[in-house]
Structures are given as C-alpha cells and as structure tokens.
Amino acid sequence: MERNGQWLPAPAPTPAPPAEEPASLHGPALEPPFAPPRRQSAIRRRLSALAVAVVALLAKLKAVLLLLPKLKLLASSGTILVSLGAYALLWGWPFAAGFIALLFVHEMGHVIALRREGLKASAPMFIPFMGAVIAARSLGRNALAEARVGLAGPILGSVGAAACVLVWHATGSDLWRALAFTGFFLNLFNLLPVVPLDGGRAMAAMAPWMWFAGFAAMIPLAILFPNPIILLILVIAGFETYKRWKLRRSHTPEQEAYYRVKPIDRALVAGVYLSLIALLVIGMHATFVARTIN
C-alpha cells in the first residue's frame, strides 16, 4: 500500500548563544572566535540514507506489481513457444500448432467455467508432452460446481475437434483429419473417472466411489501401455484418491455439504458425461486413419 506524503527530517537543534565574557579591567571584552555549526550525527545520516532506499524500493515494487499481469501473459506465451518447438521436432510445425490450439481450447473451457463460478484462474501453462494446466484456488464451492468446471474442458475441447472435422471436409486435407482424431482422443482420455482428470471431477457430483474403480482401471493401462504420462497420472491419482477418501471419512459438516447434490443435478451431470463419451467415440471412429506400412 502506498501512502502519499513527504519525508521531513527532524529540525536540527539551535545552538545556545555563547556566554558573555566579563569585561576586562584594561579594555572592552574580547569576542569569542567563530564556531562552525555542528555536523549532522552519523545516526541521522544513516537514517536518511535508509529512508531514501526504502522509497526507491517501494517505487520499484509498484512498477513490478503493475507489470505482473503482463509477466504472467509472457510466461504463458513462453510455454506455448517451448511446447511448439518440442512438438514440431516430432510432428512438424503445422500439426504442432494445431495440437497446441486444441489444448488451448480445452483449457479455456475450464477457465470460462471457473469465471462463471466467480473464481479466478491463471492463463493456460503448457508443458511439453504433458499437455497444459491452469491454476485456481478452488474448483467451486461444492461437488456440482467442480463437476461443471471439470466437464467444461472436454465440452469446449470436443467443439474444437469437431471444427477440425468441418475444415477437413472443406479442404480435403488429412492434417485436419488427424487433428480432429487427436482432439477427440485427448478429450476422451480426460474423461477417465479418476482424479485429477476431468472425469474424476465429474464423479465428485455423481458417484465418488468411482474414483477407486477408475484408479484400478489405470493400473493395467499403465502395464499394457507404459509411458511417463500414464505413470505420472497414476501416481497423482493415487495420492488424490487417498486424500479424498480420508476427507470423506471425516464426515465433517463441510464435507457433507460439499458432496450434497440433488438427484436431478446428479442425473444431468451423468447425462452430459455419458453423452460426451459416446460422441467422442463416434468422432474417433469417423476420423480414424489406418496405419499403412510400405
């Protein structure tokens, strides 16, 4: 907080006038020699220098605070460029750019839903070969809000993948067909019923016990298709599932209120969740290209 005002040093004490000399018997009194003013004490000089340094520091801090939103935007843009370069090494620039665009659309679904819940969210941050993430203090005041935030990503992400289908039919380019298939697959994978994936968020309002089923299903998936991403999700899912199980066992009023969802809302979440899975499977089937080996 900045306070307006000026720093005023304490006034220096006025030296007392010299005592008069008694008159001499042989002539007028002699005036004392001129005394120079007292120098400012070392302590006062140091305090003055400290005050100047504090004012300069506050001015710099104010400048940093004003630039903070721009720095966040630059950080997000930087992660996009790093991811673009990493993906381009494997798939080329056109597919890498489209892939990042699909990830961005997915994450913006979460951002929009969080803002509708009255919560602030960071700009998407991209991690090469891991996708993208956003940061928020919470996902909503209850499990229903968490489900809305979780499903918003796959919903908007599926719209983005469907747009690629339209461009594919308009241009005949297989690049857009491949992007559409990849987008459908990514959003379907995110609907696995395990936290921290979006499907696990939806299960918070439907059937939290499905977290254990989803975690159990991830184990053979990690064995059959071993890769760092699935292994990392499995580890995070294990910690998150255990944490939520411990909290639910506490039976505190806050926990009971968080997971209290009306039957009609639970049915709506289930309908959206299952419909998304069905549409994404159909989309993957329509855009699938069989691999040919020459």
pLDDT in tens, 13-57: 444 444 444 444 344 444 444 445 555 566 666 655 555 555 554
Q: Within a domain: residue 23? A: no
Alpha-carbon distance 256 to 37, whole Å?
77
The total of structural domains in the chain comes to 1
Q: Within a domain: residue 223? A: yes
Q: Within a domain: residue 215? A: yes
Residue range(s) defining the domain that contains residue 55: 42-287
Q: Within a domain: residue 8? A: no
Buried b (16+ CB within 10 A) or exposed e, 113-152: bbeebebebebbbbeeeebbebebeebbebbbbbbbbbbb
Q: Within a domain: residue 9? A: no
Q: Within a domain: residue 267? A: yes
- According to the model, what pLDDT value does residue 169 have? 95
Alpha-carbon distance 276 to 286, whole Å?
15
Q: What's the first-to-final CA gap in the chain, in angstroms?
A: 69
- According to the model, what pLDDT value does residue 104 have? 94
Q: Within a domain: residue 20? A: no
- Mind listing the pLDDT tens digit for each residue in 72-103? 555 667 788 888 888 899 899 999 999 999 99
Radius of gyration of the chain (CA): 34
Alpha-carbon distance 49 to 53, whole Å?
6
- According to the model, what pLDDT value does residue 174 have? 93
Q: Within a domain: residue 274? A: yes
